[in-house]
Structure 1
Amino acid sequence: MKDFYEEIGKLALGSRLRRLSENILSEAKDIYSDYGIDLEPRWFPIFYLLSHEDSLAVTDIAARISHTHASVSQMIKEMKNRGLIVTEKDQFDGRKSMISLSAAGKDKIGQMNQLYPDVTRAVENLLVETTHDVWEAINELEYTLTRKNLQTRVKEVRKARESEKVKIVAYRPEHKPFFKSLNYQWINKHFEVEQADIKSLEHPDEDILQKGGRIFMATYGDTIVGTVAMKKLGADTFELAKMAVVEEARGRSIGWLLGKRVIDEAKALGASRVYIESNTKLKPAINLYHKLGFKKIKGPESPYARCNIQLELII
């Protein structure tokens, strides 16, 4: 019969590592028994640390062995019940307990010192028999996960998958109600509607399209979830404006796709510059603009009272 974890593959990485860990810990208990040592293998990191330190606080132990405070507290409680450790209040901070090996715990140091070189040699021999250096692979995996944890990686994959369902389409007359409502909702949530907004949103054909600009809509399935306009400011400049995304649809890179479409369209039309007016309270939007390559500049006076930052992209 095919191994279950081989069958379902990398989806079960954590479960397979846990099985391997549990198998090794189970064997470790038998090995301890061979040496006459009454010690739970999962206590080993704490025991080893305390055998080289006079005393440590729970928080220090947790940090050193990369365990949670709760799991360390539970193991310390178990070890204390077995008579292996003692606790006493810190002489400088009465709120903190210091942990150290008891006399019985210290008696086991000699037994463990006999075991250490044998286990080390056996593990080295084991690793020699493997095609890959498992120890180095674990080091590399742990380092890579500190740079970006697995949850973040899953979120990124999900975001990329869902963004593939997003399509950016050219504006059509039937899109006008959505162009208006998306932007009015966004503006009213963060600011107040201004005269320049009304001009563009109520008359997009006259104010944007007939002047050489473009409007794009983002769809997710059959639903319109975002919009953006590019207003022609001059022979070689367009303004990225009126970007709005449905709140429920955020997290699918819709803003990025809309901004990228404006940049690509500006290039296709022979422009050399894309300009933006915004407000610094809109941190996600400002971060998006920077990711798209825009840089902060000092531009001309804006028709919008809410504008306190201007950016441009030279293309």
Structure 2
Amino acid sequence: MNLYQSLGYLVLGSRLRRLSEAFLAEINRVYQNEGIDFDASWFPVFYLLSKNDALSIKELSEQIEVSHPAASQLITNLKNRSLVTSATCADDGRRQLVTLTDSGRELLKQILPVWDAISQAMTQLVDTDAVSQQLLPAITAVENTFRSSNLSVVISEKLTAHLKPADHE
């Protein structure tokens, strides 16, 4: 058992970040090996725009569960690469609707087979281990628990209970 495994929940965030970074590095290596100029961090936006003609930055940020500024920064990066464009919504001048450009749609055609291969490969790898098959349901359960609870409050309550002097009778 390594240090991270031995520390349990104390390093949950670090372990998840390490796993995420390793996974995304492997996925980016696939794109690179296939000669596709695509970064895995763009996936949520490309996926949503592949299913919708146009979405506002607010809709994108809500669906990918990031802050509006983070979504806006990602969209700006994709605009700078001429992969998406945005235009003011005809119904509401405050909303910017984001769409894939022709270059973005061409890139989408290249990456769709990669997405299928990723799904197939991960299913194949996970299917060989019963515990690994529980990964996605377990992540969903933890996400739901975090949404319904305030972890910092629970930790503070534990601290208060722990630090509270014992009542002496």
Q: Secondary structure at the match of 1:167?
A: coil
In 2: Cα distance, 1:50 partner to 1:149 partner? 32
* Residue aligning to 2:148: 147
Q: Secondary structure at the match of 2:86?
A: strand
Q: What amino acid maps onto 2:77 in structure 1?
A: E
* Residue aligning to 1:167: 167
Look at both structures and tell me which one has the larger radius of gyration over its CA atoms. 1
Q: Secondary structure at the match of 2:138?
A: helix
Q: Secondary structure at the match of 2:38?
A: coil
In 1: Cα distance, 2:125 partner to 2:151 partner? 29
How much has 1:108 moved relative to structure 2? 1.6
Residue by residue over 1:256-291, the C-alpha shift from the partner in whole angstroms, topping out at 9 and shown as x without a partner, is: xxxxxxxxxxxxxxxxxxxxxxxxxxxxxxxxxxxx
Quick one: percent identity of the two aligned structures? 32
How much has 1:34 moved relative to structure 2? 2.8
In 2: Cα distance, 1:28 partner to 1:154 partner? 36
In 2: Cα distance, 1:138 partner to 1:152 partner? 21
In 1: Cα distance, 2:150 partner to 2:21 partner? 23
TM-score by length of 2: 0.90
In 1: Cα distance, 2:3 partner to 2:115 partner? 34
* Residue aligning to 1:47: 46
In 2: Cα distance, 1:18 partner to 1:129 partner? 24
The answer on whether the counterparts of 1:35 and 1:111 sit within 8 Å (CA) in structure 2 is no
In 1: Cα distance, 2:150 partner to 2:128 partner? 30
Highest RCO, 1 vs 2 (Cα 8 Å, sep ≥ 6): 2
In 1: Cα distance, 2:58 partner to 2:139 partner? 25
Q: Secondary structure at the match of 1:104?
A: helix
Residue by residue over 1:149-188, the C-alpha shift from the partner in whole angstroms, topping out at 9 and shown as x without a partner, is: 322321222222133x24265xxxxxxxxxxxxxxxxxxx
Larger strand proportion of the pair: 1
* Residue aligning to 1:89: 88
Shift in alpha-carbon separation, 1:18–1:103, aligned structure 2, 3 A: same
Give yes or no for the alignment of 1:98 onto 2:119. Answer: no
* RMSD (Å), alpha carbons: 1.7
In 1: Cα distance, 2:113 partner to 2:68 partner? 30
* Residue aligning to 2:157: 156
Question: What is the count of residue pairs matched by the alignment?
Answer: 167
* Residue aligning to 1:108: 107
In 2: Cα distance, 1:150 partner to 1:12 partner? 15
In 1: Cα distance, 2:22 partner to 2:137 partner? 20
In 1: Cα distance, 2:52 partner to 2:35 partner? 24
Residue by residue over 1:56-107, the C-alpha shift from the partner in whole angstroms, topping out at 9 and shown as x without a partner, is: 1111101111111121111111111111100111112222211111110011
In 1: Cα distance, 2:34 partner to 2:154 partner? 44
- What is the 5 A alignment of 1:1-315? 3-132=2-131, 133-163=134-164, 165-167=165-167, 169=169
In 1: Cα distance, 2:129 partner to 2:155 partner? 30
Q: What amino acid maps onto 1:41 in structure 2?
A: A
